[in-house]
Amino acid sequence: MAISPARKIAYDVLERVEGEGAYASDLLHSTLGAKVKPADAALATELTLGVLRQRLLLDFLLDRHLERGVERLDLPVALALRIGAYQLRFLERIPASAAVNESVELVKKARKASAASLVNAVLRRIAVESKSPVEKILPQEFTAAERLAILHSHPAWLVGRWLARFGEARTTALLEADNRAPRLSCAPSDPDQRQHVVAALEQAGLRVEAGVLLRDAFAVSGGSPSRSAEFRAGRISIQDEASQAIPLLLGVRSGDRVLDVCAAPGGKTQALARAAGNTGLVVAADRYGHRLRAMAAQFDRLGLPEVRLLELDATQDLPFGARFDRILLDAPCSGTGTLARHPEIRWRLRPEQLAEFHTLQVRMLRAALGQLAPGGRLVYSTCSIEPEENEDVVAEVQREASGVSRVPANEMTKTLAAHLAAGVSAPALIDDAGQFHTLPGQQQTDGFFAAALQT
């Protein structure tokens, strides 16, 4: 029996995610080229990201029919079981026979034929109980965190943290949002051409919806915008709306000297460069040369004003003689605000890493502040929703930095309000300390944090 292209792609991507520590979104982007039929690309994406999002729940269901847990099986066998179980539990349009039989073929293809009968038997049992509510088979002794962790497939330690901060209702909404496919949001390269770009995308067969936060943003469905002529011509970029909002908080003016400290992959740099214009100076820095080269190719596609690229370690004193009017530090972080987009993060992150990120982020923010010109503004941001990486970092650095203060909340609100979609309230996104927050399950975006400091 032949294995469908979609299932083979999903299996191969998952094997690299688990075996090499790769990221599924990157692998899918590079794998799902023009030669892959749109229907196969859609199913491969659904299977890959669905299995990653629902891994804990799938393993819980599978373990009930295994003498030893899924985690103790050879990786090819575990992946075939998860792919089959995901289809049986979540994809009603796929016949059970196809889900079972092709999973058996996957283990044979992986030279694990001895496990074929096991995969067949277990998945047939999963098929029988696929409509049974999971709640009915959860152990009675489970805590609230353990129960929600299984039902919504997140690590129990992370669920426990969120329950303590947000309560059960907000935590449940967050968990549910993490398990939905995120909106595929875009930004027009030239806001004045937004209507023309939207019309061209719709003519190409894509569905376009208005942004939920930003006036110029829009979301695309019904296909991949990266395959469109508008994308190839550099007239749009693909970027979550909360991420699009971050560079706007800097209030860059024409002619400003701007530093983007951790610039890769470059989505925020684009907005900074356009705001600074041909009379400004924009330096985009990153620690890794290969990421800078990828950015250079992207900027060339977009036809951006010249951006100077620089490889550096942002935890050390920065090597600039002159200072900058505007600095963006979009710091490396845990990524807990992006678990819908990058579901593998939830299985890799460990509690102790939050403290490690905090230490790294404090060093970077100290170094970046040293390059801020008098009267300048620095925005510190992350795609984390954890206070150790957000409020705590800014508070620690501000306590020890003389002559540095917060940009007041009313100024932050005014800066952001000019870019918001009709009906969106800037005060709902900016807290009393002038800090920007979004949370999955509330704004239909990734979870982001930003705070602005000034000299």
Indicate if the alpha-carbon torsion angle 18, 21, 24, 30 is positive or negative. negative
Residues with Cβ within 8 Å of residue 89, at least 6 apart in sequence: 54, 57, 58, 61, 126, 130
**Choices 3.30.70, 1.10.3470, 3.30.200, 3.30.230: CATH for 186-238:** 3.30.70
Residue 1 has pLDDT above 70, yes or no: no
Residue 417 pLDDT class (50, 70, 90 cuts): very high
Question: Cβ(302)–Cβ(270) under 8 Å?
Answer: yes
**CA separation (Å) from 72 to 12, 52, 78?**
20, 17, 8
Phi-psi category of residue 299: left, alpha or beta, with phi > 0 → left and psi -120 to 50 → alpha: alpha
Q: Is 311 helix (H, G, I), strand (E, B) or coil?
A: strand
Model pTM above 0.85 = yes
Cα 327 from chain centroid (whole Å): 23
Q: Which of 186, 262, 333, 383 is catalytic?
A: 383
* Fold matches, 5-137 and 186-238: no
Residues of the chain with pLDDT > 70: what percent? 100
For position 85, what pLDDT does the model report?
A: 98
Residues with Cβ within 8 Å of residue 330, at least 6 apart in sequence: 246, 260, 261, 262, 263, 268, 381, 382
- DSSP conformation letters of 211-256: -SSBSS-EEEESS-GGGSHHHHTTSEEE--HHHHHHHHTT---TT-
Residue 304 has pLDDT above 80, yes or no: no
**Choices 3.40.50.720, 3.40.50.150, 3.40.50.2000, 2.60.40.10: CATH for 249-454:** 3.40.50.150
pLDDT in tens, 67-82: 989 999 999 999 999 9
Per-residue pLDDT, averaged over 133-161, amounts to: 96
Q: Is 262 a catalytic residue?
A: no
Residue 202 has pLDDT above 80, yes or no: yes
The amino acid occupying position 401 is A
Residues with Cβ within 8 Å of residue 390, at least 6 apart in sequence: 382, 384, 435, 449, 451
For position 305, what pLDDT does the model report?
A: 65
* In the chain, domain spans: 5-137, 144-179, 186-238, 249-454
pLDDT in tens, 426-453: 999 999 999 999 999 998 999 999 999 9
pLDDT in tens, 346-392: 999 999 999 999 999 999 999 999 999 999 999 999 999 999 999 99
Residue 226 pLDDT class (50, 70, 90 cuts): confident
Residue 298 pLDDT class (50, 70, 90 cuts): confident
Identify the helix (H) or strand (E) that includes residue 85. Answer: helix 75-90
Q: At the fourth CATH level, which superfamily is domain 5-137?
A: NusB-like (1.10.940.10)
Residues with Cβ within 8 Å of residue 73, at least 6 apart in sequence: 66, 81, 115
pLDDT in tens, 85-127: 999 999 999 999 999 999 999 999 999 989 999 999 999 999 9
pLDDT in tens, 228-286: 899 988 899 999 999 999 999 999 999 999 999 999 988 999 999 999 998 999 999 99
pLDDT in tens, 15-50: 999 999 999 999 998 898 878 998 999 999 999 999
Residue 297 pLDDT class (50, 70, 90 cuts): confident
Residue 372 β-bridge partners = 324
Q: What is the rounded CA–CA span in Å between residue 9 and residue 200? A: 30
